[in-house]
Every structure is written in C-alpha cells, then in structure tokens.
Chains A and B, each alone.
Chain A
C-alpha cells in the first residue's frame, strides 16, 4: 500500500518558485495499479520521485506499506521499490543479465539464485534466455523497455514506480507490451504507481486514475467513474468528448451480455418459437445445434404467418455470419455492430458454445446504470 498525505513540492530556482505538487493526498491499495495522469509539467514525475526519495518533499508524508519513508534509509527503501525511469536507462556497459542482476547482487544473493531469477525474469517478459548475454545497444526499443521492467522486478519488490514505462515504443508494440504487462500483473500483483500522459493507456492499465493539473490532484477514482462522472471541467476536457466510447474499452462482453437468451434447437418446431417470440415481444431468437453451437437466427417477421406443422426451425432461420467471443471488449463489439448494421450478436465461449446475447440496448442500459445511481463524486483520499 502506498499512501500520500498532504504532499507538497515547491522548486525554487533563482527568485522563482514552482509549485510542482500541491497538497496531494491519495491511497493506492495493495495489488492495484494507480496511473498518475495529466498534461506535461503537471507534476506527475515529481510526485512519483518523492515516493522513492529521489526528490525531497517540501512538506507532507509518504507511507509505503505502512512505513513513513522519511524514517527509512534511502538505500534500503529504494532496493525494496522497483523503479522504471522514463528514459529506460539500461546501463550500456552491462549485459542484459548484468543489468537485471544489479539489485539481487547488492542484496548479496548467491550466484545460483541470481541465475535462476534472471531466467525467470526473461520468461516473465517473454524474451528468450539468449538475450541475457546481449548488450542494450543490440536490443530494439521494445526489448529494452521490457528489460527495464524486468530490472525493476528483479528482487521482487512489493511496490513498483514506473514513469511512462511504455512511452518510448511505437504504438503497435506499446499495446503488445501493455497487454503482456497486465497479464504479468495478474500473477505478481504488485502495488504500482505508473505515470502516463495518455488517457487511453491510463484507462487500459489503471485500477485507479489520479488526474493532475498544475500540481493539484483533480480527481482520484476508478477509470469508469472518471469517464462517467468527471469531477470538474478540466477532467471532463482531459478525458475527451468521446468519453462514453472510452468506457467501452473497460468492459468485455461477459460483463454486459444477457446470459439467458431465448434459444431453440434446430429441429424444434418453428411454431413453438413463434409463440415464445410473440409472448415475449422478441424480434428474433437464436437457433443452436445439438452441441449448443449457434447456427442461425429466426426472425419473427419472416415466419409470423406460418401454420402448425410447418416444419423445423432450421428450415426458416437465417444463417449466422458472426459470433462474438465473450472476452472481446465492448468497443470492438460496438464497432462491429455498426459495421454489420446489427443490433445484437450471439456470444460464445472458447468451445463455440452459446453463452449469451449482446445487444445495443443492453450496452446502453449497462453504461447508463451508473448515471442512475447518485454520482459518487470522487474519493479524494
């Protein structure tokens, strides 16, 4: 856990003084990723660097896992906090292995343990062991970035500070590394404070977002609440007019889908289906085969004039063109709805079995639910 209490930093340069952090208070729970977000120069880096005492606060207190950092020796404190700097900062004179073994060596781990850890770390960041003997200049930007993260993780610190850790890579690789990192974080569950100036990155990575403006914390809340209930006009402008669309990134199909759609088997009598559709005012139902795999959609207006004994559903249904995996995020699904002019999709699990249905109305209702609740405002502490 990391807690900041009334943290202030004033830089004095000549006769000018710059307030880089003004009375910042927040608490990041264990295992959470908190993203410090805001435009350049708003004090994100300054706030981050006060936590590992690279920058001395002007006033205020910082607690890392319950301990006031002012009472902890700088060196001891920093060896327990993984630190990824904005410029990556791998030591060019050391191999990859040399770089990632620095902290373990300072902690006097024995050679065998260091070797084992080095291999483990490479696996974590999805790089081959053969990279261990290479020098930083032989690596691509993305690989260096990964090594930077591995180096910070080396001695398994409970807390990580990361200053724009994915900033120096091209957009495609950035997404790959972000995804990789989130998968890793699921396993290692570090308490992380990460700086970013990119709202999309923040939404993707954060459990909590802290938005700054000119050294002042504007709002500290979950990504969804920040997007749904921006606390002031600065935050509202910062998150963008398309903030509702951005919320779609936060959820996947499984969060929103109707898990109990009406379904019929392909050899059920079509009239039974028609009856149910009438009774429940449905425009269509999905048809599945004996393995519960969706095969088609039966649309009421195509079949409403059929009489009894007119046959099985399979004869009247429209074949399904697309199915949606439940882990897809809502933004991609919405995009496909517009692409195919569809208002709903059938959702399947990894065995292609039907597990639900997702509709435009369902998504709207889900997104609107938060507005019906009294807005929570924002927890500033």
Chain B
C-alpha cells in the first residue's frame, strides 16, 4: 500500500527519473548499435582482428560496473565530467558492445555461403550484398543482441545513480542511504518494469523489421 501511495504521490519524479534512465540507455545503446554492427561486419572480413576484438569486448563486459565507474572517474575528471551522464553513457556503451558485435559477427558468419555466392554471381556489389542480403538475414540475431544489451544496461544504469547519473537508480540509492524501504522498492520495481517493457518493445521492433520469410 505504501509503495502504491508513493508511486501516486511521486509520479512526476518517477516519470522524470524514468526519462533520464531511458535517455542514458537509449543514447548509449544507439551508439553501440552503430559502432558494434559496423565493427561486427568489419571483422567478418578480417578474421585475425575478429579474435582480438571479441576478446577485448568480452573482457570489458566482465568488469563490474562499480569498478568501471571507479576507473572512469579520474580519467573523465580531466574534462570535468567525472560524474554524471557521461560516464554512465560510456559504461553502457561499452557493456553493449560485446552482445552486439558478437551477434552481428556470428549472424553474418553463419549466413549460408550459397546465398553469398548467389549474390556475387548475380553481380551484386559488396555493399548491395550487405544491405540486401546479409544484414536483413542477420537482423533477428543482431536484435537479440540489442535486447540483451538493453536489458543488461537498464540494470547498469540503475547503479550509475551512485555517480550522479540520475535515473531510477536514484530511488534505490536514496532508499538504501535513508533506510527507506518503500523508496527502495519503488526504485527496484520501476527498474524491473522498465527492463521488461523495453525487452517487449524491442521484440516488437524486431518483428517489424524481420522479413516474413525468415519467421
């Protein structure tokens, strides 16, 4: 009951924190898609680079988020951005890379070589092949990576409240420091709901952009 009352009494702040939260994740994951898909495609052509890139990305994702923030604070402080949105966005960006790069790489590597040969044989240029065949065929797997990155980073962003990035984590950190379990629960529930909704939303988008022929 307390929780519901808190929701009703503070809906404005909750909405604002949700917006902040979405802003961080959306911005960072968007950059990660642009960068990750490009890198993922690039490394399909450069097998040696592929191992290195995937290795680095998998090391990054194993760094605990608190540690990553800790590492970034002194570096970003040099440009007076040690705390706030920027380190949060960078962290989310970095954590998103592995699932996106790896899924893009795997999806493209697993495309039936016969399709690639058919495309070549018909006189498609490399970029036509990429845009008309390889990427459309890879979309379900790339999108699975994006969904994973998003859900994971909605959690990471909650922790970023500790470095002043705002977002729904603010309720959690305040709830802990003020021993206010209602506030804590509100934060935790909101983050969970946001994660589930984001996943469903992306699934919806995935279905929209996946060809009927692939379902």
Contacts and interface: CB of A to CB of B under 8 A. Distances in A.
A374 B114 CA distance: 46
A87 B120 contact: no
B212 A135 contact: yes
A342 interface: no
B122 A103 contact: yes
A337 B129 CA distance: 57
A78 to B, nearest CB: 4
Of the four ranges (under 10, 10 to 19, 20 to 34, 35 or more), the interface on chain B belongs to 20 to 34
Interface stretch (B23-31, B130-138, B146-154, B176-184): B130-138
Contact of B115 (A75, A91, A137, A151): A91
Nearest to B212: A135
B67 to A, nearest CB: 42
Of the four ranges (under 10, 10 to 19, 20 to 34, 35 or more), the interface on chain A belongs to 20 to 34
A94 B212 CA distance: 9
Given A52-B121, A54-B121, A87-B114, A102 B132 contact: yes
A74 B125 CA distance: 9
Given A91-B133, A135-B213, A85 B128 contact: no
Interface in B79-136: 112, 114-115, 117-125, 128, 132-133, 136
B211 interface: yes
Interface in B161-211: 211
B123 to A, nearest CB: 4
Nearest to B117: A85
Contacts of A79: 122-123
B130 to A, nearest CB: 13
A106 B123 contact: yes
Contact of A78 (B120, B133, B214): B120
Residue from B118, B120, B212 whose CB has the most chain A CB atoms within 10 Å:
B118
A61 to B, nearest CB: 21
Contacts of B123: 74-79, 103, 106
Nearest to B126: A75
Contacts of B119: 91
A240 interface: no
B133 A54 contact: no
A272 to B, nearest CB: 68
